Amino acid sequence: MGTLRWHFLLQSLEDLQKNLFQLGSCLLVIQGEHEAVLRDHVPKWNITQVTLDAEMEPFYKEMEARVRRLGEELGFGVLSLVGHTLYDTKRILDLNGGAPPLTYKRFLHILSLLGDPEVPVRTPTAEDFQRCRPPDPALYECYRVPLPEDLKIPLESLSPWRGGETEGLQRLEQHLTDQGWVASFTKPRTIPNSLLPSTTGLSPYFSVGCLSVRTFFYRLSNIYAQAKHHSLPPVSLQGQLLWREFFYTVASATPNFTQMAGNPICLQISWYEDAERLHKWKTAQTGFPWIDAIMTQLHQEGWIHHLARHAVACFLTRGDLWISWEEGMKVFEELLLDADYSINAGNWMWLSASAFFHQYTRIFCPVRFGKRTDPEGQYIRKYLPVLKNFSSKYIYEPWTASEEEQKQAGCIIGQDYPFPMVNHKEASDHNLQLMKQVREEQNR
Ligand code: FAD
């Protein structure tokens, strides 16, 4: 987990602590390995019940099993709740005959059989806490939300995104006031290189549990019910949430979901291993301004638009570099505020045409893709200021500017900014052939 997400998480805990305090309760943060923490605190505080979020990730599934065994040993009850998804994914899988394969279309059909998801968990009020005895104030200091410096997290890199339910709810309300925008939302028409997010930007808040996906789902349903027309899945806003649910469902029943080996839904490909090229991609040194601007935004802010994720993921994998999606996924896992086991791996498999998506002949051009929605290159100028004085004609391919024009822009290609690391046309044609071969072999 990278620095930006650490800050986001600590801010979220800080906000939760503040909100609970206003309700007459508080949050005590215990640091340590879960088993040792429980062995220590269960007898000390006379704990009779441990409640946790049910998770897809094998790591947390194992943790839950261990907590249950410990409960039997130490005599506490364990309550595992489905709070991170709209549905209990087991119910969806049961209706699918137990396991993937599962297409989005079939998934929507199963949801229509299940009906609406469970209503959101109600926000607690002060009355809920009246029964509780507030903890001894001496405990607050001992179990306070840690500061970044306590965890040795560098302070210099702060994302403009602020963590916490308060901030997440504000963002939600802001978007939902524009009911026309909500009703007509069509994902492919949103803009990857707008200077402010053109989609809701709620993913970091869902990801660390600041916002309930069910609250969002029901608020959208209410708006749709009042609208004459509204967009539909897969492109509508509710459709986006259902993509999330879809990846959670498939991930929950797929062994080795975050890797290629031993993953039954993933195409087996001999990707190149090239640490130097991977490093250039990760550190925004590919020489393609559109790709490097996106990777810079990712480093600086921890969030990038979905189609921007498409662009850099395709470039790394089947488009240009032929490097494994697992490597890209790990970089996203470190840098994204919304990094998520199921969604991250699922989308990386999609973009690399390893699973879910099979129109592999569609390769994004690292020059034309961004130009379509931002011909002046404002986004590139913001994130790559070294290129900001190039005219719009050259901003996406500054290596084509003459020496004189480069001098005038104050940026010499090969010196102040790299040459493109590949010839896109040659690389993508070659990779297309490789992908064809892999598919033919595996079909056989
Ligand atoms: P909106 O368009 O406003 O959508 C609302 C919500 O729907 C999002 O907050 C998110 O929870 C969900 N959603 C939207 N698109 C998708 C999608 N394609 N798949 C699943 N859920 C979706 N999203 C993550 O939350 N965590 C990740 O680790 C992650 N990794 C990704 C990796 C790649 C290579 C790609 C292409 C996409 C990835 N996404 C990931 C999906 C998507 O890009 C983000 O969820 C979305 O951009 C978040 O912005 P938003 O909240 O404005 O989305």
Mean pLDDT of 32-44: 96
Categorize the per-residue pLDDT at 129 as very low, low, confident or very high, splitting at 50, 70 and 90: confident
Pairing relation of β-strands 77-81 and 49-53? parallel
CA distance 269 to 318: 10
Q: Which of 138-142, 154-158, 275-279, 384-388 has the lowest mean pLDDT?
A: 154-158
Q: Write down the residue that tokens 């990801």 correspond to.
A: 207
* Residue nearest to ligand 1 atom 23, measured at CA: 343
Ligand 1 center–CA 203 separation, angstroms: 6
At 413, give phi and psi (nearest 5°). -70, 135
Categorize the per-residue pLDDT at 126 as very low, low, confident or very high, splitting at 50, 70 and 90: confident
- Please check the confidence at residue 317 and state whether its pLDDT lies above 80: yes
CB of 363 closer than 8 Å to CB of 257: no
On whether 339 is known to bind a ligand per the annotation, the reply is yes
Q: Could you give the 3-state DSSP secondary structure of residue 77?
A: strand
On whether 247 is known to bind a ligand per the annotation, the reply is yes
Closest-CA residue to 285 (of 420, 130, 422, 92):
420
On whether 338 is known to bind a ligand per the annotation, the reply is yes
Ligand 1 center–CA 233 separation, angstroms: 14
Q: Which of 109-118, 183-192, 217-226, 270-279 has the lowest mean pLDDT?
A: 109-118
Query: Closest ligand 1 atom to the C-alpha of 201?
Result: 52
On whether 3 is known to bind a ligand per the annotation, the reply is no
> Which residue among 333, 338, 349, 364 has the greatest number of ligand 1 atoms within 8 angstroms of its CB, and so is best to mutate?
338
CB of 360 closer than 8 Å to CB of 318: yes
> Which residue among 306, 335, 336 has the greatest number of ligand 1 atoms within 8 angstroms of its CB, and so is best to mutate?
306
With pLDDT > 90 as the criterion, what percentage of the chain qualifies? 87
Mean pLDDT of 177-195: 96
Q: How many Cβ atoms sit within 10 Å of the Cβ of residue 282?
A: 20
Categorize the per-residue pLDDT at 331 as very low, low, confident or very high, splitting at 50, 70 and 90: very high
Give the per-residue pLDDT at 134: 67
CA distance 14 to 145: 6
Give the per-residue pLDDT at 208: 95
On whether 201 is known to bind a ligand per the annotation, the reply is yes
> Which residue among 184, 187, 205, 347 has the greatest number of ligand 1 atoms within 8 angstroms of its CB, and so is best to mutate?
347
* Residue nearest to ligand 1 atom 45, measured at CA: 203
Structure tokens at 64: 């839950």
Angle made by CA atoms 291, 294, 297, in degrees to the nearest 5: 150
What residues pair up with 323 in beta bridges, in sequence order?
272
CB of 411 closer than 8 Å to CB of 398: yes
Query: Closest ligand 1 atom to the C-alpha of 333?
Result: 28
**Residues 6+ away with beta carbon under 8 Å from 45:** none
For residues 85, 87, 89 and 93, what is the CA-based torsion angle, rounded to 10 degrees? -150
* Lining residues, ligand 1, CB within 6 Å: 187, 197, 199-203, 206-207, 240-241, 243-244, 247, 305-306, 309-310, 313, 332, 336, 338-340, 343-344, 347-348, 351
Ligand 1 center–CA 75 separation, angstroms: 40
Mean pLDDT of 172-182: 97
On whether 245 is known to bind a ligand per the annotation, the reply is yes
Q: Is 108 exposed, middle or buried (0-12, 13-18, 19+ CB in 10 A)?
A: middle
> Which residue among 191, 203, 341 has the greatest number of ligand 1 atoms within 8 angstroms of its CB, and so is best to mutate?
203
The pLDDT tens digits for 350-395 are 999 999 998 999 999 999 999 999 999 999 999 999 999 999 999 9
* Residue nearest to ligand 1 atom 18, measured at CA: 243
**What type of residue sits at position 411?**
C
Averaged pLDDT of the chain: 94
Ligand 1 center–CA 398 separation, angstroms: 31
The pLDDT tens digits for 296-311 are 999 999 999 999 999 9
Report the interhelical angle of 165-177 vs 213-226 (nearest 10°).
10
Query: Closest ligand 1 atom to the C-alpha of 175?
Result: 3
On whether 275 is known to bind a ligand per the annotation, the reply is no
pLDDT, greater one: 151 or 406: 406
Q: What is the pTM of this model?
A: 0.96
CA distance 273 to 7: 32
- Please check the confidence at residue 406 and state whether its pLDDT lies above 80: yes
Query: Closest ligand 1 atom to the C-alpha of 213?
Result: 11
> Which residue among 244, 297, 307 has the greatest number of ligand 1 atoms within 8 angstroms of its CB, and so is best to mutate?
244
Cis ω for the linkage preceding 146 (within 30 of 0): no
On whether 240 is known to bind a ligand per the annotation, the reply is yes
CA distance 103 to 107: 6
With pLDDT > 70 as the criterion, what percentage of the chain qualifies? 98
- Please check the confidence at residue 36 and state whether its pLDDT lies above 80: yes
Give the per-residue pLDDT at 114: 94
